[in-house]
Structure 1
Amino acid sequence: MSYGMTVRLHRPFADTVEEVRAALKEQGFGILTEIDVRATLHEKLGETMEDYLILGACNPPLAHRALEADRQIGLLLPCNVVVRADGDDTIVEAMDPEVMVTVSKNPDLEPVAGDAAGRLTKALDSLHS
């Protein structure tokens, strides 16, 4: 089972991060959290790795609908989007919101997950233009 949606772009990491932020905003998502995995692992463990950023994206109306259907679904929110360097390319990955339906087995979450998946797909697809 795939739990993510992925696009590979032949662009610099920093430029892609800004494009991802704009694409998510266009689809109604704000960034609640940002984890710079590369910096954290270097600071805490002295390890080096490629640029790797986790953005915790949230669309408040969708989050509200999901929480109304299942209060425990907050364990799976926000929608994580990863932007990471891979050689000369940058990979953008988003967790497939349909996973929350599979995990929770709550059919009331299906329309919310479908809406979120559609918005994330549009955001990722817009990065190709």
Structure 2
Amino acid sequence: MFHYTVETGKSMDEAIQSLEVSLKEEKFGVLWQFDIEETLKKKGFNFEQPYKILEVCNPKVANSILTENQLIGYFLPCKIVVYQDAETKKTKMGLPKPTALIEMINEESLMDIATEIENRLISCIDKSV
């Protein structure tokens, strides 16, 4: 499976606030928060599902992995989505797994770094549930 997704009893705002705290503890910063619902409405589309994408980065790791392979930049920054499920109306959080993305580059030497980042980001999500 290319992603890791969990459900939480928290509102989207509560989940994002908790997630930001967990990310900071792991030395990840939120670079940008993209509100898809708001953006599509501004463009004239009737998208009624709360859906946000957080772009997160650990500068030390980004520097290290980009030094090894510039193609990694295609996957940066890491993304974590927080949205209200259209059917259940429950808040969900998840991310594309860095290990799944690294497989596309087919460079085994980067898999350890991808695994470490994946585990750290999943831990942040799990702490935020």
Tell me the TM-score normalised to structure 2 length: 0.91
What corresponds to 1:119 in structure 2? 120
How many pairs align? 127
What corresponds to 2:92 in structure 1? 91
What corresponds to 2:51 in structure 1? 52
Question: Is the partner of 1:80 in helix, strand or coil?
Answer: strand
Describe how 1:9-88 pairs up with structure 2 within 5 A: 9-86=8-85, 87-88=88-89
Deviation at 1:61, TM superposition (A): 1.5
- On the 8 A contact 1:19/1:127 being kept in 2, the answer is yes
Percent identity of the aligned residues?
Answer: 28
Deviation at 1:93, TM superposition (A): 0.7
Cα root mean square deviation, aligned: 1.3
Question: Is the partner of 1:45 in helix, strand or coil?
Answer: coil
* CA distance, structure 1, for counterparts of residue 127 and residue 28 of structure 2: 14
* CA distance, structure 2, for counterparts of residue 15 and residue 88 of structure 1: 15
- On the 8 A contact 1:30/1:58 being kept in 2, the answer is yes
Q: Which moved more, 1:45-54 or 1:76-85?
A: 45-54
Question: Is the partner of 2:82 in helix, strand or coil?
Answer: strand
Tell me the TM-score normalised to structure 1 length: 0.91
* CA distance, structure 2, for counterparts of residue 28 and residue 95 of structure 1: 19
Aligned partner letter, 2:111: E
Deviations 1:43-80 (A, max 9, x none): 10231322110001101111112101111110111110
Deviation at 1:102, TM superposition (A): 0.6
* CA distance, structure 2, for counterparts of residue 23 and residue 94 of structure 1: 15
Deviation at 1:88, TM superposition (A): 4.2
* CA distance, structure 1, for counterparts of residue 14 and residue 100 of structure 2: 29
Q: Which runs of 5+ in 1 are unaligned?
A: none
